[in-house]
């Protein structure tokens, strides 16, 4: 096949993405077909011509149903879970100045286990066995939050005999009921918003609620209320580490409510898992760097008093319950020769301490 020939259907590009272990496929006007492999975005074929507006319109029409095409025309963008015989994808199509842009996140068929991801089981499993409270999984876009969240749900599904309810936008991993009864609801398809779905959820007698994304005041407030009233809530946020996550949760509330919310969070928080996927030094893929905060009396005290800036220090003394800061995790990966010095310096929060570590 000539590398200049535009394929007929998006499925053909998605198959290439699966074959070469990519996380995303980009089909954008005025840019050649591209893939994201091991965190790097690059054209699939070096000498492929940029896609024309006609190419991207034809490709968009090749997989969009009539209702999605209509939404794209009315609103200018559409996000949904796309399924083909070969797998599931998180699809996003937007209209821009030059034409249409499509991005597909490739969802693995198999839910990876907590062990496969490389999480410290002896400290993670106790978190999954609480009957109430909130566990937050955080990180930037493409840091593997959905994969970790799915591993948590899958473990609870096998480990407990409860009712799990997932609220997602869109549904990514499909769970069969194992020990638990699992219900999955998709925002826009089955309910209009995370807030509306969470309100309804509290009437459906779930034991565990997974909230795909806590992005606004209403969702965060309802998630905290659910955690307080006897549900175990799993949620994700786009924040880089534990102190920033807590600041983000508290900052969405009006100033006059913050004291009360700090008390709520200090009591209901079970743990925060922050993650990054860092390119390996040998170019063979990416490795998980992980920060873990577990809610001990000292952590709870910092949250209640609004002193989140003291958390890194508290985490240093909480090794016995598995606490580790992102910087410590990055330094360990560097010491073992897994990541490069450049990645360590680039990703570290405390640049001065990192420089001191590299000099010593």
Tokens of 167: 């609220």
Range of 57's domain?
Answer: 10-107
Dihedral sign, CA of 328, 305, 230, 320? positive
The reply to whether 175 and 227 lie within a common domain is yes
Chain centroid, CA 269 distance in Å:
19
Tokens of 187: 């925002």
The reply to whether 137 and 280 lie within a common domain is yes
Report long-range pairs for 157-163 (Cβ below 8 Å, ≥24 apart).
Answer: 157/182, 159/128, 159/129, 160/129, 160/207, 160/208, 162/206, 162/207, 162/208, 163/204, 163/205, 163/206, 163/207, 163/208
Sheet holding 77-84, edge to edge: 40-43, 34-37, 24-28, 100-107, 87-95, 77-84
Query: How many separate domains does the chain show?
Result: 2
CA nearest to 72, candidates 95, 51, 49:
95
3-state secondary structure of 187: strand
227-270 pLDDT per residue, tens: 999 999 999 999 989 999 999 999 999 999 999 999 999 999 99
290-319 pLDDT per residue, tens: 999 999 999 999 999 999 999 999 999 999
Strands 269-279 and 133-138: parallel
Q: Which ranges constitute the DSSP H helices of the chain?
A: 10-19, 53-63, 66-75, 114-117, 121-128, 145-159, 194-201, 217-228, 242-251, 258-268, 297-304, 311-316, 326-335, 341-347, 351-359
Strands 77-84 and 181-186: unpaired
CATH code of the domain covering residue 259: 3.40.50.300
- 78 contact partners, CB below 8 Å, separation of at least 6: 64, 68, 71, 72, 91, 92, 93
Question: For the chain, which residues score pLDDT lower than 50?
Answer: 1-2
Tokens of 39: 């965190």
- 95 contact partners, CB below 8 Å, separation of at least 6: 72, 76, 77
Cβ neighbourhood burial of 31 (10 Å; 0-12, 13-18, 19+): middle
Give the DSSP H/E element, type plus range, for residue 95. strand 87-95
The reply to whether 257 and 176 lie within a common domain is yes
Report long-range pairs for 57-60 (Cβ below 8 Å, ≥24 apart).
Answer: 57/99, 57/100, 58/6, 59/6, 59/7, 59/9, 59/10, 59/27, 59/100, 59/102, 60/93, 60/100, 60/102
The reply to whether 78 and 226 lie within a common domain is no
The reply to whether 262 and 125 lie within a common domain is yes
Examine residue 127 and state whether it is found in any structural domain, yes or no.
yes
Strand partners, 290: 275
191 touches 200 (CB < 8 A) = yes
3-state secondary structure of 356: helix
The reply to whether 94 and 143 lie within a common domain is no
The reply to whether 225 and 334 lie within a common domain is yes
Examine residue 3 and state whether it is found in any structural domain, yes or no.
no
The reply to whether 49 and 146 lie within a common domain is no
The reply to whether 71 and 17 lie within a common domain is yes
212 touches 168 (CB < 8 A) = yes
């Amino acid at each position: 096949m000539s590398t200049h020939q535009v394929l007929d259907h998006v499925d053909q590009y998605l198959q290439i993405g699966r074959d070469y272990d990519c996380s995303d496929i980009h089909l954008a006007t005025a840019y050649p077909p591209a893939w994201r492999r091991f965190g790097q975005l690059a054209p699939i074929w070096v000498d492929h011509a940029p896609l024309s507006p006609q190419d991207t319109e034809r490709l968009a029409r090749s997989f969009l149903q009539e209702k999605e095409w209509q939404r794209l025309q009315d609103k200018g963008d559409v996000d949904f879970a796309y399924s083909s015989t070969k797998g599931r994808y998180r699809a996003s199509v937007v209209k821009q100045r030059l034409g249409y842009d499509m991005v597909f996140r490739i969802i693995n068929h198999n839910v990876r286990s907590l062990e496969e991801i490389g999480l410290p089981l002896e400290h993670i499993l106790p978190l999954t066995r609480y009957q109430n409270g909130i566990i937050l999984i955080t990180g930037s876009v493409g840091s593997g939050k959905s994969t970790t969240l799915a591993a948590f749900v899958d473990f609870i599904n096998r480990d407990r005999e409860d009712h799990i309810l997932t609220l997602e936008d869109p549904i990514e991993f499909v769970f069969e009921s194992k020990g638990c009864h699992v219900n999955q609801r998709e925002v826009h398809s089955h309910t209009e918003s995370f807030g509306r779905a969470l309100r309804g959820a509290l009437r459906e007698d779930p034991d565990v609620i997974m909230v795909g994304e806590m992005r606004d005041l209403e969702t965060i407030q309802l998630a905290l209320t659910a955690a307080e009233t006897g549900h175990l809530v799993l949620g994700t946020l786009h924040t880089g580490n534990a102190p920033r996550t807590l600041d983000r949760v508290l900052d969405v509330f009006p100033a006059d409510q913050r004291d009360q919310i700090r008390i709520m969070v200090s009591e209901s928080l079970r743990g925060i898992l922050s993650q990054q996927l860092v390119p390996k030094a040998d170019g063979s893929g990416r490795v998980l760097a992980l920060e873990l905060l577990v809610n001990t009396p000292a952590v709870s005290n910092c949250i209640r008093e609004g002193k989140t800036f003291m958390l890194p220090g508290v985490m240093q003394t909480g090794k016995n319950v598995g606490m580790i800061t992102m910087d410590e995790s990055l330094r360990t990966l560097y010491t073992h020769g897994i990541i490069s010095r450049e990645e360590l310096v680039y990703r570290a929060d405390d640049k001065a301490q990192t420089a001191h570590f590299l000099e010593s």
